[in-house]
Chains A and B, each alone.
Chain A
Amino acid sequence: MGVSVAYLVSGVGDPAVELYGGQLVVDGMALFFQVIFTSVTALVALASYDYLEDMRHQAEYYILLLLAATGMSLMAAAGSLAVGFVALELASLPSYGLVAFLKQNRGSVEAGLKYFLVGALSSAVFAYGISLVYAVSGSLLIDAVAESVRNTGLPGVLGVGVLMVLGGFAFKTASVPFHFWAPEAYEGAPAPVSAFISSASKAAGFALAFRVMTVAFPIEGVVGAVDWVLAVQVLAVVTMTLGNFAAATQENVKRMLAYSSVGHAGYVLIGLAALTGTGDGGLVLGAGMIHLLVYGFMNTGAFLFIALAEYWGVGRTFADYNGLARRAPLACVAMTVFMFSLAGLPVGGGFVSKYYLFAGAVNAGVWWLALVGAVNSALSLFYYSRVVKAMWIEEPAEGVDVSSYPSTLYAAVITAAIVTVVLLPALGLFSGFAFDAAAAVLF
């Protein structure tokens, strides 16, 4: 993590470093995403130390975690569709294992199996999409693809291929229509793994999606074959609306967070959906990256808080969180920060990153997308505040013992909270990197 931050700040990715004949591209965007992955991985590893206490196969757990993180970093730097596919599998396969890590727990195993089946299906779709694109363009390098798709004679094949590739990304980012694994996987998995998958894995999906869609299929080049921006716009609206409304009806906190994670995928999709060619594309794409950065901290923190609650033996529903603030005020302050920041209240960086996204969308002329996002964001306060209400306002439930203080889990939650708050004033420092990186990818 330290290395990735240092690389980002020192500007290694400017100009982009290309390795292995363009198979890997290390530019500002790759480094920016690697900061997200490594930060989340560090937080999750820190929290897992306590969470996995006295469990078997701890070494395997950390190996899988680091393998997945490696796969994600490769996804962010993939310069060809083949590398992208391999990296995606490298990130996904350890994730399946991690989700099913609690072998004795029915929910965990079931979630792992469901995740694996949906993942295998969407990998197949993704691979088939790649093969169709290869059939049209004759190359897997995304730069070369971009050149050959411009005046292709096979627009129909290309169009189907692009949509199938998009489907692969929808799986990884837990967007509609491949989102239905997410609630089960997040709920069944050990909470640190849920944090890892919902933050880092989602960001990795977007990293690959941003690069492939913008570089390989520039909209002005493929619009004759398929208007994928329109498809993404529809996906964004459906994803955020469905995620938010489903989250509002949940009784289980972890499941609520899972659906809210689907909703946030919808917000980030605005980053692609607003690349209409008018306005400043780098602005909105960079906004998506920034939102993923902030989301990496606030969402990881929220799931780690749940890990903390599971550690204490607190139940899974809202009612089980009643009065938790009297037992553990510090952790509950952190959770309150996460919830309000996710809802877009200005107590954390989530406010500014959403503001960037919506402003970018309006700037690109798709003001209705920003409107849907803003309305969704306002409604989301309803279910986020239920957690806060349960923790602070309701009377405590009986029989919960909060006597132990798992130090590393605590440290991870508090660190995530502090970073979330500090990102509110300090986002101005990071936003430059994101906007420059996004602009560099686009042009």
Chain B
Amino acid sequence: MMLELLVGVCLLGAFVTFALPEEYAPEAALGISLVPLAVSLYMYAVFDGVGNALLGGDPAFETQYAWLTLGRYDVTWHMGLDGISMPLVVLATLLTTLAILASWTPIDERQSQFYGLMLFMEASLVGVFGALDFLIWFVFWEAVLVPMYFLIGVWGGARRKYAAIKFFVYTNIASIVMFIGFFGLVFGLGDSIASLDLPAVAQALRAGELGGLGLLSASQVATLAFVAMFLGFAVKVPVVPFHTWLPDAHVEAPTPASVMLAGVLLKMGTYALLRYNFTMLPGIAQSFAVPIALLGVISIVYGALLALAQSDLKRIVAYSSVSSMGYVMLGLVAYTMYGTGGATFQMVAHGLISGLLFACVGVVYNTTHTRMVGDMSGLADRMPVTVGAFVAGGFAYMGLPLMAGFAGEFFVFVGTFGADFAGAPVFTSVGMFGIVIVAGYLLWSMQATLFGPFESATDYEVSPAAVHDVVPLLVLVVFIIALGTFPYDLAFDAILEATRHRARPVRVRQHRPRVEQQSRPRGHRLRRLAGGDGRVGRVPRLWRR
């Protein structure tokens, strides 16, 4: 029931905040958001999920109740977390709390509505990562759009209306395409499934139950469904060439919404790709490996080049997200234990890092009222803590060792280099080159804005930011360094627990709801892992104790 509690607290908090008078909303929202944060951290501490939730694993905090029956198909309220979704839930709750804190300065009108929407979005995000039934998942997936649309549209910059509607329609059409693709699979499976339960669908697909549909053969159905779902999720990620909504949305969105958008919403796309395309249709994914890897590498290099061409700090960070999500794609397509695990790790790492950078840009903008690289310089003298965090975030992006970005990219590269699709080493090498471009534009923009003699094109007083502005930055820096220093203990063990089955033959189990909690051995994840899999030894024991 913990997961339902998490969603319920956020939803209830959203309504309460929405109804509160303006002056209490910021503090109340912060207080309320600490509850789900604490709950999710507690859940992480006691997390005991085994294996991949979709492939016969035993997810933690699992619940299942009947909801609807549609002809042959049962729809159940099925929630649960495995090693892939658990870190993302923590990421969502952490970033929401920090984003709420970061909104105290910039958001000064219609505050109760703003904070209510933030909490509503948190509820939906937790639902997306926790849902194990397609329809429930889709409800949450669509529900995320609504608050984001308002956040951009009401509190955004000058072109906010255009950006909001572009974001909304673009991603909604993508959802429909994906929806149709998934139902192609469901109908192709025919009588072999009796529900829209994701584990049941995934296991039936992997057991080869897919049949033809109309004039299409089974393999054509699978291919078309794969392409439809890929297109649907690629918009969300976004993968070049479906990325055009992203810079508009980011630039116009208020800073806290950018933090959530880059930090968590983009991960929905890669999370869904992992859950649906790669877990359910690994064979098709294998045959499409080269084009997908190509798209990933293009995203990395082209996104970085676009970032290089910008002079608006927010646009730079926005395009660099396109680039970073390319690494995640590369890790996913490698389809090795480390590739997929590394991709998941990179999702979390990038969520923290891009959240940090957007928050820094926001703090700078709150003070100077400009985001243009040429309009200011030497901020380090005036706001040292903010600039320190900014530099830390920049170096994390560039992959400085002992920071989360390095660990994530390293895992991805290890996984991809050993992948068995054609030209994997070449793709990996070209992808690595992207880091050089990242270093180029980040160093250039940081040097121009943060260092040198102080100058500002705007007439605002530039003084150190308020404490509540700086706290989120420092918390993020701490998390980034902690995650980079102890990646296995903090996240990667849990993730590998869910991705390691990839290297083994698939264990297909008839999925059935657990009626009662069984007690499981609660050994340390590391020990459980080290005993099991031969591939662990192939990876340098860089951080192992």
Instruction: Please list the residues of chain A having a beta carbon within 8 angstroms of any beta carbon in chain B.
Output: 280, 283, 326, 329, 340, 345-347, 351-352, 355-356, 359-360, 362-363, 365, 367, 371, 374-375, 377-378, 381-382, 385, 389, 392-394, 424-425, 427-428, 431-432
Contacts and interface: CB of A to CB of B under 8 A. Distances in A.
Interface of B: 66-71, 73, 75, 110, 113, 135, 138-139, 142-143, 145-146, 149-150, 153-154, 160-161, 164-165, 168-169, 172-173, 175-176, 179-180, 183, 187, 213-214
Contacts of B73: 359
8 contacts: A283-B70, A329-B113, A345-B146, A352-B68, A367-B214, A378-B172, A378-B175, A393-B150
B143 A392 contact: no
Contact of A280 (B71, B145, B164, B176): B71
Contacts of B75: 428
A431 B68 contact: yes
Given A346-B142, A428-B69, A428-B75, 9 more contacts: A283-B71, A326-B110, A359-B71, A360-B71, A374-B179, A381-B169, A381-B172, A382-B165, A382-B169
Nearest to B160: A393
A352 B69 CA distance: 11
Contact of B176 (A360, A374, A428): A374
Contacts of B113: 329
Contacts of A392: 150, 153-154
B168 A381 contact: yes
A311 to B, nearest CB: 24
Given A374-B176, A375-B176, A359 B139 contact: no
Does more than half of chain A's interface fall in helix, strand or loop, or is it mixed? helix
Contacts of B143: 345-347
B173 A356 contact: no
Contacts of A371: 180
B226 to A, nearest CB: 18
Contacts of A356: 70
Nearest to A346: B139
A378 B187 contact: no
Contact of B146 (A283, A347, A389, A431): A347
Contacts of B164: 389, 393
B139 A351 contact: yes
Contacts of A427: 68
In order of increasing CB-CB distance, the 9 nearest A-B pairs are A346-B139, A428-B68, A378-B176, A393-B153, A283-B71, A346-B142, A378-B173, A345-B142, A393-B154
Contact of A359 (B70, B110, B173): B70
A377 B169 CA distance: 12
A389 B169 contact: no
B485 to A, nearest CB: 41
Contact of A374 (B110, B180, B214): B180
A346 B138 contact: yes
Contacts of A280: 71
Nearest to B68: A428
Contacts of B153: 389, 392-393
Contacts of A428: 66-69, 75
A19 B186 CA distance: 44
A326 B172 CA distance: 27
Does more than half of chain B's interface fall in helix, strand or loop, or is it mixed? helix
B168 A385 contact: yes
Between A283, A345, A346, A375, the greatest number of chain B beta carbons within 10 A of the residue's beta carbon is seen for A346
A337 B169 CA distance: 17
Contacts of B175: 378
Contacts of A352: 68
Contacts of B71: 280, 283, 359-360, 363
Contacts of A347: 143, 146
Contacts of A375: 176
A283 B146 CA distance: 30
B146 A340 contact: yes
Contacts of A389: 153, 161, 164-165
Contacts of B160: 393
Contacts of A362: 183, 187
Nearest to B138: A346
Nearest to A360: B71
A356 B173 CA distance: 19
Contacts of B169: 381-382, 385
Contacts of B176: 374-375, 377-378
B188 to A, nearest CB: 11
Contacts of B154: 392-393
A240 B143 CA distance: 25
A390 to B, nearest CB: 10
Contacts of A424: 139
B351 to A, nearest CB: 25
Nearest to B145: A345
A362 B142 CA distance: 22
A432 B71 CA distance: 10
A58 B146 CA distance: 41
Contacts of B172: 345, 378, 381
A363 B153 CA distance: 39
Contacts of A381: 168-169, 172
A378 B168 CA distance: 11
B161 to A, nearest CB: 6
Between B71, B168, B187, the greatest number of chain A beta carbons within 10 A of the residue's beta carbon is seen for B71
A427 B75 CA distance: 12
A431 B73 CA distance: 13
A347 B68 CA distance: 16
Nearest to B174: A378
Nearest to B73: A359
Nearest to B136: A346
Nearest to B77: A425
A362 B182 CA distance: 13
B69 A431 contact: yes
A355 B145 CA distance: 19
A381 B213 CA distance: 30
Given A381-B168, A389-B161, A431-B68, A359 B183 contact: yes
B523 to A, nearest CB: 39
Contacts of B135: 355
Contacts of B149: 385
B281 to A, nearest CB: 20
A11 B213 CA distance: 38
Nearest to B75: A428
A352 B179 CA distance: 13
A382 B173 CA distance: 10
A415 B309 CA distance: 53
B67 A425 contact: yes
Nearest to A378: B176
Nearest to B135: A355
A385 B145 contact: no
Nearest to B152: A393
A313 B329 CA distance: 54
B231 to A, nearest CB: 14
Nearest to A382: B169
A194 B160 CA distance: 34
A332 to B, nearest CB: 11
A274 to B, nearest CB: 12
Nearest to A424: B139
A322 to B, nearest CB: 11
Nearest to A326: B110
A394 B161 CA distance: 8
A333 to B, nearest CB: 8
A50 to B, nearest CB: 24
A427 B150 CA distance: 28
B332 to A, nearest CB: 26
A48 B338 CA distance: 65
